[in-house]
Protein backbone atom coordinates (compact mmCIF):
# COMPACT_ATOMS: atom_id res chain seq x y z
CA UNK A 1 0.00 0.00 0.00
CA UNK A 2 1.35 3.41 -1.04
CA UNK A 3 0.52 6.46 1.06
CA UNK A 4 1.43 10.12 1.16
CA UNK A 5 1.77 11.36 4.73
CA UNK A 6 1.66 15.07 5.49
CA UNK A 7 2.88 15.33 9.10
CA UNK A 8 3.15 18.32 11.40
CA UNK A 9 6.80 18.71 12.42
CA UNK A 10 7.72 21.02 15.30
CA UNK A 11 10.97 20.69 17.21
CA UNK A 12 9.75 22.25 20.48
CA UNK A 13 6.99 24.29 22.08
CA UNK A 14 8.79 27.57 21.42
CA UNK A 15 9.61 26.91 17.75
CA UNK A 16 7.33 27.24 14.75
CA UNK A 17 6.09 24.10 13.05
CA UNK A 18 5.20 23.13 9.50
CA UNK A 19 3.75 20.29 7.48
CA UNK A 20 6.30 17.91 5.95
CA UNK A 21 5.39 15.30 3.34
CA UNK A 22 6.64 11.71 3.30
CA UNK A 23 6.03 8.91 0.82
CA UNK A 24 5.26 5.48 2.28
CA UNK A 25 5.66 2.81 -0.36
CA UNK A 26 5.36 -0.32 1.76
CA UNK A 27 2.53 0.12 4.28
CA UNK A 28 0.93 -3.23 5.12
CA UNK A 29 -2.85 -3.32 5.52
CA UNK A 30 -2.45 -5.49 8.65
CA UNK A 31 -0.37 -2.86 10.45
CA UNK A 32 -1.87 -0.64 13.11
CA UNK A 33 -1.52 3.07 12.40
CA UNK A 34 1.23 3.41 14.99
CA UNK A 35 3.11 0.43 13.53
CA UNK A 36 3.01 2.20 10.19
CA UNK A 37 4.57 5.26 11.83
CA UNK A 38 7.17 2.99 13.44
CA UNK A 39 8.18 1.84 9.94
CA UNK A 40 8.35 5.44 8.77
CA UNK A 41 10.57 6.35 11.72
CA UNK A 42 12.90 3.43 10.98
CA UNK A 43 13.29 4.78 7.46
CA UNK A 44 13.89 8.31 8.72
CA UNK A 45 16.51 7.14 11.22
CA UNK A 46 18.14 5.03 8.54
CA UNK A 47 18.78 8.10 6.41
CA UNK A 48 19.83 10.27 9.35
CA UNK A 49 16.61 12.27 9.76
CA UNK A 50 14.79 13.05 12.99
CA UNK A 51 11.98 10.53 13.66
CA UNK A 52 8.39 11.72 14.15
CA UNK A 53 7.53 12.12 17.84
CA UNK A 54 4.15 10.79 18.96
CA UNK A 55 2.73 9.61 22.29
CA UNK A 56 2.04 5.91 22.88
CA UNK A 57 2.25 3.29 25.59
CA UNK A 58 -0.01 0.25 25.87
CA UNK A 59 -1.16 0.27 22.22
CA UNK A 60 -4.32 -1.53 23.31
CA UNK A 61 -6.74 1.39 23.60
CA UNK A 62 -6.48 1.43 27.40
CA UNK A 63 -3.93 4.02 28.56
CA UNK A 64 -5.07 7.05 26.55
CA UNK A 65 -1.52 8.05 25.66
CA UNK A 66 -1.84 8.07 21.88
CA UNK A 67 -3.89 10.52 19.91
CA UNK A 68 -3.67 13.04 17.07
CA UNK A 69 -5.73 14.26 14.15
CA UNK A 70 -5.97 12.29 10.92
CA UNK A 71 -7.50 14.32 8.09
CA UNK A 72 -9.07 16.63 10.65
CA UNK A 73 -10.68 13.88 12.74
CA UNK A 74 -9.47 13.02 16.24
CA UNK A 75 -8.20 9.40 16.27
CA UNK A 76 -9.08 9.03 12.59
CA UNK A 77 -12.18 7.94 10.68
CA UNK A 78 -13.28 4.95 12.78
CA UNK A 79 -15.68 5.69 15.64
CA UNK A 80 -15.03 4.30 19.10
CA UNK A 81 -11.38 3.69 18.20
CA UNK A 82 -8.05 5.02 19.44
CA UNK A 83 -5.14 5.65 17.08
CA UNK A 84 -3.39 2.48 18.23
CA UNK A 85 -6.51 0.41 17.45
CA UNK A 86 -6.86 1.90 13.97
CA UNK A 87 -5.50 -0.36 11.23
CA UNK A 88 -4.25 0.45 7.75
CA UNK A 89 -6.92 -1.75 6.13
CA UNK A 90 -9.31 1.14 6.75
CA UNK A 91 -7.39 3.23 4.22
CA UNK A 92 -6.92 2.84 0.47
CA UNK A 93 -3.84 2.58 -1.71
CA UNK A 94 -2.80 6.07 -2.81
CA UNK A 95 -4.49 7.91 0.08
CA UNK A 96 -3.11 11.23 1.31
CA UNK A 97 -3.23 11.54 5.10
CA UNK A 98 -2.78 14.75 7.08
CA UNK A 99 -1.49 14.19 10.62
CA UNK A 100 -1.65 17.02 13.16
CA UNK A 101 -1.42 17.20 16.98
CA UNK A 102 -4.29 18.12 19.30
CA UNK A 103 -4.87 21.86 18.89
CA UNK A 104 -5.67 23.60 22.19
CA UNK A 105 -4.02 26.30 24.28
CA UNK A 106 -4.21 23.99 27.29
CA UNK A 107 -2.32 21.28 25.33
CA UNK A 108 0.99 22.91 24.28
CA UNK A 109 2.89 20.96 21.65
CA UNK A 110 5.96 19.20 23.04
CA UNK A 111 7.25 17.97 19.71
CA UNK A 112 5.61 17.02 16.40
CA UNK A 113 2.44 15.08 17.25
CA UNK A 114 3.08 14.91 21.01
CA UNK A 115 1.35 17.41 23.32
CA UNK A 116 1.48 18.13 27.04
CA UNK A 117 -1.81 17.00 28.62
CA UNK A 118 -0.83 17.61 32.24
CA UNK A 119 -3.78 20.01 32.51
CA UNK A 120 -5.97 16.90 32.74
CA UNK A 121 -3.89 15.68 35.68
CA UNK A 122 -4.47 18.93 37.54
CA UNK A 123 -8.22 18.67 37.00
CA UNK A 124 -8.22 15.18 38.51
CA UNK A 125 -6.01 16.28 41.40
CA UNK A 126 -8.56 18.98 42.23
CA UNK A 127 -11.30 16.52 43.07
CA UNK A 128 -11.00 13.11 41.46
CA UNK A 129 -10.73 11.22 44.74
CA UNK A 130 -12.72 10.19 47.80
CA UNK A 131 -11.72 10.65 51.45
CA UNK A 132 -13.90 7.89 52.86
CA UNK A 133 -11.67 5.37 54.68
CA UNK A 134 -12.51 2.05 53.05
CA UNK A 135 -10.01 -0.23 54.82
CA UNK A 136 -9.61 -3.65 53.30
CA UNK A 137 -11.58 -4.77 50.28
CA UNK A 138 -15.14 -5.70 51.20
CA UNK A 139 -17.65 -7.98 49.54
CA UNK A 140 -18.98 -6.53 46.30
CA UNK A 141 -22.57 -6.87 47.48
CA UNK A 142 -22.03 -5.19 50.86
CA UNK A 143 -23.07 -1.75 49.56
CA UNK A 144 -26.38 -1.74 47.70
CA UNK A 145 -26.04 0.26 44.48
CA UNK A 146 -28.86 0.45 41.91
CA UNK A 147 -27.90 -1.31 38.69
CA UNK A 148 -28.61 1.77 36.59
CA UNK A 149 -26.28 3.89 38.73
CA UNK A 150 -23.50 1.31 38.67
CA UNK A 151 -23.70 0.99 34.90
CA UNK A 152 -23.63 4.75 34.39
CA UNK A 153 -20.68 5.04 36.76
CA UNK A 154 -18.80 2.32 34.86
CA UNK A 155 -19.58 4.00 31.54
CA UNK A 156 -18.17 7.30 32.82
CA UNK A 157 -15.13 5.58 34.36
CA UNK A 158 -14.26 4.24 30.90
CA UNK A 159 -12.80 7.68 30.03
CA UNK A 160 -9.08 7.27 29.33
CA UNK A 161 -8.23 10.98 29.22
CA UNK A 162 -6.81 10.91 25.69
CA UNK A 163 -7.85 14.51 24.93
CA UNK A 164 -9.77 13.82 21.71
CA UNK A 165 -12.81 15.64 23.12
CA UNK A 166 -10.78 18.81 23.59
CA UNK A 167 -9.18 18.59 20.15
CA UNK A 168 -12.53 18.08 18.39
CA UNK A 169 -14.42 20.79 20.26
CA UNK A 170 -14.47 24.21 18.51
CA UNK A 171 -14.20 25.74 21.99
CA UNK A 172 -11.43 23.38 23.16
CA UNK A 173 -13.68 22.46 26.08
CA UNK A 174 -12.74 19.74 28.55
CA UNK A 175 -16.34 19.30 29.69
CA UNK A 176 -16.71 15.69 28.53
CA UNK A 177 -13.52 14.66 30.33
CA UNK A 178 -14.32 16.65 33.48
CA UNK A 179 -17.92 15.47 33.46
CA UNK A 180 -16.85 11.84 33.18
CA UNK A 181 -14.46 12.15 36.13
CA UNK A 182 -17.11 13.89 38.22
CA UNK A 183 -19.86 11.44 37.25
CA UNK A 184 -18.12 8.15 37.90
CA UNK A 185 -17.56 9.14 41.54
CA UNK A 186 -20.73 11.18 42.05
CA UNK A 187 -22.96 8.28 41.03
CA UNK A 188 -21.59 5.95 43.72
CA UNK A 189 -22.19 6.04 47.49
CA UNK A 190 -18.47 6.36 48.23
CA UNK A 191 -18.31 9.62 46.26
CA UNK A 192 -21.18 11.42 47.97
CA UNK A 193 -19.30 13.23 50.82
CA UNK A 194 -17.27 15.32 48.33
CA UNK A 195 -19.80 15.37 45.50
CA UNK A 196 -20.68 19.08 45.39
CA UNK A 197 -17.24 20.38 46.32
CA UNK A 198 -15.68 18.05 43.75
CA UNK A 199 -17.69 19.62 40.94
CA UNK A 200 -16.83 23.15 42.10
CA UNK A 201 -13.11 22.46 42.32
CA UNK A 202 -12.74 20.49 39.10
CA UNK A 203 -14.75 22.94 36.99
CA UNK A 204 -12.77 25.84 38.44
CA UNK A 205 -9.45 24.22 37.55
CA UNK A 206 -10.70 23.42 34.03
CA UNK A 207 -11.45 27.11 33.57
CA UNK A 208 -8.09 28.15 34.99
CA UNK A 209 -6.34 25.78 32.57
CA UNK A 210 -7.90 27.83 29.70
CA UNK A 211 -10.24 25.12 28.45
CA UNK A 212 -13.29 26.63 26.77
CA UNK A 213 -16.94 26.37 27.73
CA UNK A 214 -19.33 23.73 26.43
CA UNK A 215 -21.94 24.89 23.89
CA UNK A 216 -23.44 21.43 23.27
CA UNK A 217 -22.09 20.97 19.77
CA UNK A 218 -21.48 17.28 20.42
CA UNK A 219 -18.18 16.82 18.57
CA UNK A 220 -16.62 15.51 21.79
CA UNK A 221 -19.07 12.61 22.03
CA UNK A 222 -18.65 11.84 18.31
CA UNK A 223 -14.88 11.31 18.53
CA UNK A 224 -14.59 9.81 22.02
CA UNK A 225 -12.93 6.38 21.63
CA UNK A 226 -14.87 5.10 24.66
CA UNK A 227 -18.23 6.55 23.54
CA UNK A 228 -18.69 8.67 26.66
CA UNK A 229 -22.17 10.22 26.58
CA UNK A 230 -23.00 13.92 26.79
CA UNK A 231 -25.06 12.97 29.84
CA UNK A 232 -21.93 13.37 31.97
CA UNK A 233 -21.78 17.07 31.08
CA UNK A 234 -25.38 17.56 32.19
CA UNK A 235 -24.61 15.76 35.45
CA UNK A 236 -21.50 17.90 35.97
CA UNK A 237 -23.56 21.07 35.46
CA UNK A 238 -26.19 19.92 37.95
CA UNK A 239 -23.58 19.13 40.60
CA UNK A 240 -21.81 22.42 39.92
CA UNK A 241 -25.00 24.46 40.27
CA UNK A 242 -25.98 22.58 43.42
CA UNK A 243 -22.54 23.06 44.93
CA UNK A 244 -22.55 26.75 44.03
CA UNK A 245 -25.95 27.26 45.70
CA UNK A 246 -24.88 25.46 48.87
CA UNK A 247 -21.60 27.38 49.02
CA UNK A 248 -23.30 30.76 48.58
CA UNK A 249 -25.99 29.92 51.09
CA UNK A 250 -23.33 29.02 53.65
CA UNK A 251 -24.23 25.35 53.74
CA UNK A 252 -20.84 24.31 52.43
CA UNK A 253 -19.81 23.03 49.03
CA UNK A 254 -19.45 19.39 50.03
CA UNK A 255 -22.03 16.87 51.00
CA UNK A 256 -24.27 14.41 49.20
109 beta partners: 115
CA-to-CA dists, residue 17 to 52, 60, 90, 113, 249, angstroms? 13, 30, 28, 11, 50
* pLDDT tens string 97-116: 999 999 999 999 999 999 99
Contact 175, 181 (CB under 8 A): no
Q: Which residue has the higher pLDDT, 12 or 129?
A: 12
Q: How far apart are CA 179 and CA 232, in angstroms?
A: 5
Mean pLDDT of the chain: 93
Q: What are phi and psi of 114, to 5 degrees?
A: -95, 130
Instruction: Say whether pLDDT at 133 is over 80.
Output: no
Count, in order, helices (H) and strands (E) of the chain. 8, 7
Q: What is the DSSP string of 72-126?
A: TEET-SSTT--GGG-BGGGS-TT-EEEEE----TTS-EEETTEE--HHHHHHHHH
Q: How far apart are CA 28 and CA 39, in angstroms?
A: 10
Contact 253, 246 (CB under 8 A): yes
pLDDT of residue 249: 79
pLDDT of residue 16: 96
Domains 3-111 and 117-248 share a fold: no
pLDDT of residue 255: 47
Neighbours of 25 (CB within 10 A): 8
Give Cα 94 to chain centroid, integer Å.
Answer: 30
What pTM, to 2 d.p., does this model score?
0.92
pLDDT of residue 170: 97
Q: Smallest Cα–Cα separation from 107: which of 95, 93, 123, 94?
A: 123
Contact 254, 244 (CB under 8 A): no
Domain 3-111 has CATH 3.10.20.30: yes
Find the mean pLDDT for residues 228-254: 87
pLDDT of residue 253: 56
Q: 117-248, which class in CATH?
A: mainly alpha
Q: What are the domain boundaries of the chain?
A: 3-111, 117-248
Q: Which residue has the higher pLDDT, 132 or 59?
A: 59
pLDDT of residue 256: 44
* pLDDT tens string 43-81: 999 999 999 999 999 999 999 999 999 999 999 999 999
Amino acid sequence: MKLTLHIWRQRSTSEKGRMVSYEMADANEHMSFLEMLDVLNEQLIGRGDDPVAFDHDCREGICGSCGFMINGIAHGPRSGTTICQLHMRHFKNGDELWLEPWRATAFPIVKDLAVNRSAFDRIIQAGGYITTPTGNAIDGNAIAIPKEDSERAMDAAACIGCGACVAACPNASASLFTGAKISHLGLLPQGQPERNGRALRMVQIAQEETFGNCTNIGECEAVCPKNISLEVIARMNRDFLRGSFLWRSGSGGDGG
